[in-house]
């Protein structure tokens, strides 16, 4: 998972050698083809800091030995998963961009209930789970008054590390502060040990979310093509324009007509040839 700036500084100059430009280019071009993430030269110090952790974990001595073990000797095939984990940025929050959850309850759900089918949600870059668990709490609360609501939630990410954290569903107390008090009381479990400042999602919320590892730059997604709502928030910004458009086009193909694609506030699809109508707040409707 992403390191903090402070951790990066303490990793600096630990006798592990420096990441030279050639090795940085090898890592950057591998990450671009494996994940679509564009690592510009301005990210070199960040990359170096994150790789030091892997070098230490493997006891390889230097950063150049680490790069060679992956790209020259090929004796570390499993390590590419850790490399991808180390170089993805996983920042997320509960109730991030709350207008999207208001849109779900006020506009989308009444419409879907009227249509009479079970509603399929997909959180397509879910990080450690705050987004799909927010959705699970919002939908569960809505269902208290509308027991006829039937729904499923698929949550996916490329990083195995964040998926493991998401499945554990244990979060620091301060991270759930944006969750409304009533929902905290209903859906969060406190530790028996009061000094342990963590909460866990209640089993009825955990059981609503199915996790899978899906790389959105792959040619095909192992996902049904009749999704009602796809969240893909705060991921496209890490891609170049061509990759962004390919991903948006493929996500659109997994929506049923009239379904919604929800992006992050800083993501843009302006100028893309995709079958989506903008509704504002980074919400798009499949034509």
Ligand X SMILES: C[S@@+](CC[C@H](N)C(=O)[O-])C[C@H]1O[C@@H](n2cnc3c(N)ncnc32)[C@H](O)[C@@H]1O
Residues marked as catalytic: 50, 157
Nearer of residues 82 and 127 to ligand X, judged by Cβ? 127
Residue 89 near ligand X by CB under 6 A: yes
Among 154, 158, 262, 263, binds ligand X (CB under 6 A): 158
Does residue 235 interact with ligand X by CB under 6 A?
yes
**Per CB under 6 A, 264 contacts ligand X:** yes
Candidate ranges 50-58, 134-142, 196-204, 209-217; the one touching ligand X (CB under 6 A): 209-217
131 is an interface residue for ligand X by CB under 6 A: yes
Q: Which of 28, 162, 251, 263 binds ligand X (CB under 6 A)?
A: 162
Q: Is the alpha carbon torsion for 156, 154, 186, 282 positive or negative?
A: positive
To ligand X, the closest distance from the beta carbon of 143 in angstroms equals 23
Select the residue interacting with ligand X from 45, 64, 90, 268 (CB under 6 A). 90
176 counts as binding ligand X under rule CB under 6 A: no
Out of 96, 100, 120, 254, the residue judged to bind ligand X by CB under 6 A: 96
Tell me the helix, strand and coil percentages in the chain, rounded to 5: 45, 20, 35
Alpha-carbon Rg for the chain in angstroms = 20
Kindly list the distances between the CA atom of residue 195 and the CA atoms of 173, 178, 181, 191, in Å, as whole numbers in the listed order: 11, 21, 21, 9
**Spatial distance between the Cα atoms of 184 and 246, rounded to a whole number of angstroms:** 38
Question: What is the distance between the alpha carbons of residues 154 and 20, in angstroms, rounded to a whole number?
Answer: 40
Identify which of residues 157 and 228 has a Cβ nearer to ligand X in the complex: 157
The pair of three-digit structure tokens given for residue 249, joined into one six-digit string? 């086009």
Give the C-alpha separation, 257 to 209, whole Å.
24
Tokens of 1: 């998972």
Q: What is the DSSP string of 174-200?
A: GGGTTS-HHHHHHHEEE-SSTTS-EEE
Q: Which is nearer to ligand X, 60 or 205 (CB)?
A: 205
Examine residue 234 and tell whether it contacts ligand X (CB under 6 A).
Answer: yes
Binding residue (CB under 6 A) for ligand X from 119, 125, 137, 155? 125
Chain residues binding ligand X by CB under 6 A are 35-37, 88-92, 96, 125, 127, 131, 157-159, 162, 215-217, 233-235, 264
């Amino acid at each position: 998972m992403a390191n903090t700036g402070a951790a990066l500084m303490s990793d600096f100059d630990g006798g592990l050698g420096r990441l030279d430009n050639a090795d940085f280019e090898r890592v950057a071009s591998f990450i671009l083809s494996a994940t679509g993430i564009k690592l510009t030269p301005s990210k070199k110090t960040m990359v170096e800091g994150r790789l030091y952790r892997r070098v230490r974990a493997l006891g390889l001595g230097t950063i150049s030995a680490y790069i060679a073990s992956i790209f020259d000797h090929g004796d570390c095939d499993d390590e590419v998963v850790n490399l991808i984990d180390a170089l993805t940025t996983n920042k997320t929050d509960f109730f991030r961009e709350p207008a999207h959850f208001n849109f779900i309850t006020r506009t989308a759900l009444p419409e879907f209930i009227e249509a009479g089918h079970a509603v399929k949600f997909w959180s397509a870059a879910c990080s450690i789970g705050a987004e799909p668990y927010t959705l699970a709490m919002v939908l569960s609360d809505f269902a208290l008054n509308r027991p006829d609501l039937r729904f499923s939630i698929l949550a996916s990410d490329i990083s195995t590390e964040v998926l493991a954290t998401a499945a554990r569903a244990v979060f620091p107390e301060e991270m759930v502060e944006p969750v409304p008090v009533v929902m905290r009381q209903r859906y969060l479990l406190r530790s028996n040990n009061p000094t342990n400042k963590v909460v866990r999602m209640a089993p009825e919320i955990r059981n609503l979310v199915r996790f899978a590892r899906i790389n959105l730059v792959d040619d095909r997604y192992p996902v049904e093509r009749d999704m009602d709502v796809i969240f893909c928030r705060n991921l496209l910004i890490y891609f170049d324009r061509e990759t962004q458009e390919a991903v948006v086009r493929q996500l659109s193909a997994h929506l049923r007509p009239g379904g919604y694609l929800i992006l992050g506030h800083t993501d843009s699809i302006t100028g893309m040839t995709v079958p989506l109508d903008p509704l504002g707040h980074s919400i798009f409707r499949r034509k």
